[in-house]
Structure formats: structure tokens, C-alpha cells
Amino acid sequence: MLDLGLSGKVAIVTGGSEGLGRATAMRFAQEGCHVVICARRKDVLERAAEAIRKQTGVQVLAHAADVTRPGDSEAGVDGTPAPHRGRGGSHACTRRARGG
């Protein structure tokens, strides 16, 4: 596996509960990134976060949000817990959300 130098960094992935977003979050986590995942459906999001935690051992924050609504995206970033913020903020952000 290629070391991308992401260990200990923070990645924010929207649409992170399923499909490409979840795969992206998993890949960041496998590289040692702590991950903040956002999606609309809290139950699906929480299951995804738990699966990523179990498989990788990194910190995963699940933030229920509809990033098509102004304010929800900012709340996800602003709500990043202090341990993540203490790492210098987010280092990567991907948007894998679709409009409803």
C-alpha cells in the first residue's frame, strides 16, 4: 500500500454513509486519517462510522447533515471535536453528496 503521509491528519467526507463516499472515508481511515463523515440519514451514518472504526481503529465522527442546506455543512466543520481540531484542522475534504 502506498503511504500518502496522511496518518494523524483529519479528512471530512460528505455523503460518507454509503457508496463512493463511504469507500472514500474508509480509504482515508486506512491511511491513518481521522475521519468526519456527514450524511442525511443518521442511522445509516452511525453504522458506517462504526464499521470504519472497527476495521481501522481511527477516530470517526458521524455528523448527520444535509449539505445541500446552507448551515449544515458549516456545522459539520465547526462541530469537529477538539481532538481533531488540535491536529491543525481538516487536511482533506471531499464532497460525495447528491441533491435530493
14: enclosing H helix or E strand: strand 10-14
pLDDT in tens, 3-41: 777 888 888 898 899 999 999 999 999 999 999 998 999
Architecture of domain 10-95: 3-Layer(aba) Sandwich (3.40)
Q: Are 47 and 79 in contact (CB under 8 A)?
A: no
Domain ranges within the chain, ordered by starting residue? 10-95
Spatial distance between the Cα atoms of 71 and 48, rounded to a whole number of angstroms: 23
pLDDT of residue 78: 58
Q: Name the average pLDDT for the chain.
A: 79
92: enclosing H helix or E strand: strand 92-95
